[in-house]
A and B are shown apart, each in its own frame.
Chain A
Amino acid sequence: MGRKVAIVGFGSTDNSDEARRKDDLKPWRTKVADAFYNILESVDKGIDLKDIQYVVTNYHGESSVEGGSPAELIDALGLAPIGHSLITDQCTGSGTSLFDAYAIVASGLCDVVLIIGWDSRYDSLNRAEKRSLQSNVDFDYHFGYDHYHATDMFIEYFYRWYGKREVLEAFVTYVIQQYWYANRTPKAAWYGHQCPIKKDELLALLDSGDEAGFWRKFKQAVRYVSCDGASGVILVPAEDAKKYTDTPVYIEGVSQKNTPNYVGWPTHYPVKRYDWAAITHTPSDKMCHIISPASWISTEEAFKMAKIEPKDVDFAEVFDLDLLHLPLLETLRVCPRFGAVKFIIDGETAIDGRLPCGTNGGVGGFGKASGADFSNMLVEAVIQLRGEAGQRQVPKHDIAVVKSAGGVGGGGAMSSTAVLRRG
């Protein structure tokens, strides 16, 4: 495994209403620099810019920014001539960055590595790219079908396997919880926004057969914020961590895995070498578009590396847009397969539950800058582990899991997982 690795700096841009009003005035380079200086300020004992030897960054891809090169970003940060790897791996990309940066430090190649995930949603020259479903348009005609349609189709399968009433109750429960966390996270997009729904009222609409009314009301709450933003961390070898801070966070496990990104592949991907049904703990007649082996394998590998069991995890930051966190929670094995809905309805992801989850308001409540999704969760996990989360501080904060997914194949063709431990 090489050297043990620690996080000594962390930071992000501000996604609150007030900050986002200035988004149009700030190109992505400014956002990345804002996050960078926020990260530098967090290093308790200070850090010399000359100590940073390498940078790994990520944006979502699919033309979510106007393009870029490693040189442009290093110049933007004033760090030339150091090395820089630029990754595009969609919503899990900054997890991929973490994996690469971890390997660079663990191997001994570099001692101080900066990771930043970022995105700029509105500077895109080619908006059409955002409408096509992934970049692999070679083999499909998409007729305008995009991520939102894919998510809707996933929900059809969620209804089938989990039960429609149960899925919607879990959805409502989780969104209300996201508001609770976001209102205790000053940088969150939903900070200061009171939750506009009440669970009982919404479920009453559903139970009376007024599904249209349910959605009309519910959509007032599910207003995920897609925004510009950036966040990241600084990695150093564990033996050097105390030079920078008395409260480092250690990376105990890290993994990144990929499985095919064609939406319909889980129902027919006859690679005999892999028993996808067994890997995902799914009966073969339930293999569908929400099954992501990458998520399962990534979690398993990170847990194994960290030598932990599900019972050891105190809280989790999970990619929780729409309902994709249902199967992702199940990969953590904190609940049975197809048991995530009950887990959420029972309040187990709330702050006093078994596994507090999405404690910064979640991906959509904090503010979705896709390239920064994983790094936003990573930063939140570090804040929680250090006991600095204020009103949203989880009671037990020794071990955290950060879990993300990207792409649409199986609801997450790419998946990154990190296991963190308080120093």
Chain B
Amino acid sequence: MFPERPYCIVYREPIYWRERKGRYRLVGSRCKKCGELWWPRRVSEVCPNCHSRDLEEYEFSHEGIVDAFMLDRISQPLMGTEIYGRERRIIAVVKLKEGVTITPTEIVDCSPEEVKLGMKVQLVVRKLRRANDGNWLYGYMWAPIIK
């Protein structure tokens, strides 16, 4: 028996499939003509910098720093309630060495009190919800780097 879905979430399986590389490995785009990097990937396959349509995949760094964060204060549930419960989750903006920011995203594996601006974090992929066919879908999240 699959968990009951939150009433408010739309399920778009084809999008999850299309975007699996970005979602699981932070694959964005690199323009082969001007070299510019793009996150999220340029879905339109147009480089706004030079207007080339010759783009390739680029896997961004899996480490970054916390640029901003907050506790979820909204009463309606985020995805993954059936996994993570109704605890207030840490929503964040993570900045990578390439300069891009990943947002919205989450900080996991630490308490809100432990999160600090500039804290180093690494990519983790965690369960998000069940797909309509029952398979697990995952999302990119970030955990503190433990030396």
Residues of A within 8 A of B (CB): 126-129, 131-133, 136-146, 148-150, 152-153, 156-157, 160, 262-264, 267-273, 288-289
Contacts and interface: CB of A to CB of B under 8 A. Distances in A.
A141 B128 contact: yes
Interface string B21-52: 01100000000000011011101000011000
Given A144-B9, A145-B91, 19 more contacts: A127-B7, A139-B22, A141-B16, A142-B104, A143-B79, A143-B80, A143-B104, A143-B106, A144-B8, A144-B76, A153-B91, A153-B103, A156-B70, A264-B103, A268-B98, A268-B101, A270-B49, A270-B99, A271-B48
16 contacts: A131-B10, A131-B76, A138-B15, A138-B19, A141-B19, A141-B23, A141-B139, A143-B106, A144-B8, A149-B74, A153-B68, A264-B93, A264-B101, A267-B100, A270-B99, A288-B68
A386 to B, nearest CB: 41
Nearest to A151: B74
B75 to A, nearest CB: 9
Say what secondary structure dominates the interface of chain B.
loop
Contacts of B77: 144
Contacts of A270: 36-37, 49, 99
B67 interface: yes
The listed residue with most B CB atoms (<10 A of its CB), out of A133, A144, A145, A268, is: A144
A139 B41 contact: yes
Contact of B49 (A144, A156, A273): A273
Contacts of B8: 127-128, 131, 144
A139 B40 contact: yes
B9 A156 contact: no
A289 B22 contact: no
Given A264-B100, A268-B100, A138 B18 contact: yes
Contact of A126 (B6, B10, B40, B41): B10
Nearest to A138: B43
B39 to A, nearest CB: 7
Interface string B104-147: 10100000000000000000000010000000000110000000
Q: When A and B form their complex, which 3 residue pairs have the shortest distance between CB atoms, in order from nearest?
A: A139-B40, A128-B10, A264-B101
A62 B22 CA distance: 24
Nearest to A260: B48
Nearest to A155: B70
Contacts of A143: 78-80, 104, 106, 128, 139
Nearest to A137: B15
A269 B47 CA distance: 11
B18 to A, nearest CB: 7
Given A141-B139, A267-B99, A153 B93 contact: yes
Contacts of B72: 149
A232 to B, nearest CB: 31
B68 A157 contact: yes
B9 A272 contact: no
A202 B105 CA distance: 33
Contact of A131 (B9, B15, B73, B95): B9
B91 A139 contact: no
Contacts of A150: 104
Interface string B57-76: 00000000001111011101
A139 B140 CA distance: 12
Contacts of A139: 19, 22, 40-41, 43
A145 B104 contact: yes
A269 B98 CA distance: 11
Contact of B9 (A128, A157, A160, A268): A128
Contact of A137 (B12, B48, B76, B80): B12
